[in-house]
Structure 1
Amino acid sequence: MRVLHYSTRLGRSAGGLYYSVSGLARAMAALGTDVTVAGGRENGFADDKHVWGTLPLLTHPLGRSRYGFSSAMQAEIARLRPDVLHIHGIWSASSIHGRFAPRGTQVVVSPRGMLDPWIVSRKPWLKGPHAALFERPMLARAHLHALSEHEATAALSYMPALAGRIFTLPNGVDPASAAQPEKRSGALYLGRLHEKKQVLQLIEAWERHAKHTALTVAGWGGQAYEAQVADRCKSAKRIRFVGALAGESKAQALSTARFFILPSLSEGLPMAALEAVSHGCIPVLTEACHLPELFAQDVALQMAPDFSDFHDVLNRLEAMSEEEKTMRSARARQAARSYLWPGIARAMLDNYARILSEPPR
Structure 2
Amino acid sequence: MLCQRTMKVLITSPSLDENENISGISTMISGVIARGDDEFVHFKAGRKDGEKLGLGWLISQAKLPSAFRGAIDTARPDVIHINTALEPKAIVRDAMLARYAKKYPLVVHVHGGQFAVDEKLPWWMEKAANYLLGAASRIIVLSDGDAESLSRWAPARKFSVLPNAIDTEAFPDADRPWGKKSIVFIGRLHEPKGLSEIVESCRLLKEQGFKFNFVCYGVGPDKEEFLRRMIEIMGDEFHYGGVVSGAEKVKALSTADIFLLPSRFEGLSLALLEAMAAGCVPVVSARGSMPRVVVDGRNGFLIEPGDITQIVGRLKFLLSEGETGWNEYRSNARETVRTEFDIKNYVAKLKDIYAKTLSSK
TM-score, normalising length: structure 2: 0.82
Determine the structure 1 residue equivalent to 2:9.
3
RMSD: 2.6
Counterpart selection for 2:28 from 7, 20, 23:
20
Aligned-partner Cα distance in 1 for 2:95–2:350: 20
Aligned-partner Cα distance in 2 for 1:277–1:130: 35
Aligned-partner Cα distance in 2 for 1:330–1:150: 27
Aligned-partner Cα distance in 1 for 2:28–2:141: 13
| Alignment length (residue pairs) | 329
Give 1:43 shift: 7.9
Determine the structure 1 residue equivalent to 2:166.
173
The correspondence of residues 303-318 of structure 1 with structure 2, limited to 5 A, is 303-305=303-305, 306-318=307-319
Aligned-partner Cα distance in 2 for 1:163–1:82: 26
Deviations 1:139-178 (A, max 9, x none): 2231110012222122123x1x332101111111012332
Determine the structure 1 residue equivalent to 2:185.
189
CA contact under 8 A between 1:87 and 1:95: conserved in structure 2? no
CA contact under 8 A between 1:21 and 1:88: conserved in structure 2? no
State the 4+ residue runs in structure 1 displaced beyond 6 angstroms.
Answer: 41-44
Determine the structure 1 residue equivalent to 2:42.
37
Matched, 1:83 2:78: yes
**Structure 2, unaligned runs of 5 or more:** 1-6, 50-54, 85-89
TM-score, normalising length: structure 1: 0.82
Report SS of the residue matched to 1:217.
strand
Determine the structure 2 residue equivalent to 1:54.
none
Aligned-partner Cα distance in 2 for 1:342–1:73: 29
1:293–1:268 distance in 2 versus 1, CA, 3 Å: closer
Report SS of the residue matched to 1:78.
helix
- Matched letter for residue 214 of structure 1: N
Determine the structure 2 residue equivalent to 1:47.
none
Matched, 1:206 2:202: yes
Matched, 1:100 2:100: yes
Report SS of the residue matched to 2:64.
coil
CA contact under 8 A between 1:85 and 1:98: conserved in structure 2? no
Report SS of the residue matched to 2:314.
helix
The correspondence of residues 236-255 of structure 1 with structure 2, limited to 5 A, is 236-237=233-234, 238-255=237-254
Aligned-partner Cα distance in 2 for 1:264–1:327: 25
Give 1:73 shift: 3.0
Determine the structure 2 residue equivalent to 1:228.
225
Report SS of the residue matched to 1:308.
helix
1:312–1:72 distance in 2 versus 1, CA, 3 Å: closer
User: Which has the larger displacement, 92-101 or 211-220?
Assistant: 92-101
Give 1:182 shift: 4.5
1:43–1:204 distance in 2 versus 1, CA, 3 Å: closer
The correspondence of residues 123-142 of structure 1 with structure 2, limited to 5 A, is 124=122, 128-129=123-124, 131-132=126-127, 134-142=128-136
Aligned-partner Cα distance in 1 for 2:294–2:21: 30
Report SS of the residue matched to 1:114.
coil
Give 1:8 shift: 4.6
1:328–1:96 distance in 2 versus 1, CA, 3 Å: same
Report SS of the residue matched to 1:261.
strand
CA contact under 8 A between 2:65 and 2:97: conserved in structure 1? no
Give 1:283 shift: 0.9
Aligned-partner Cα distance in 2 for 1:189–1:283: 10
Aligned-partner Cα distance in 2 for 1:136–1:310: 36
**Structure 1, unaligned runs of 5 or more:** 45-61
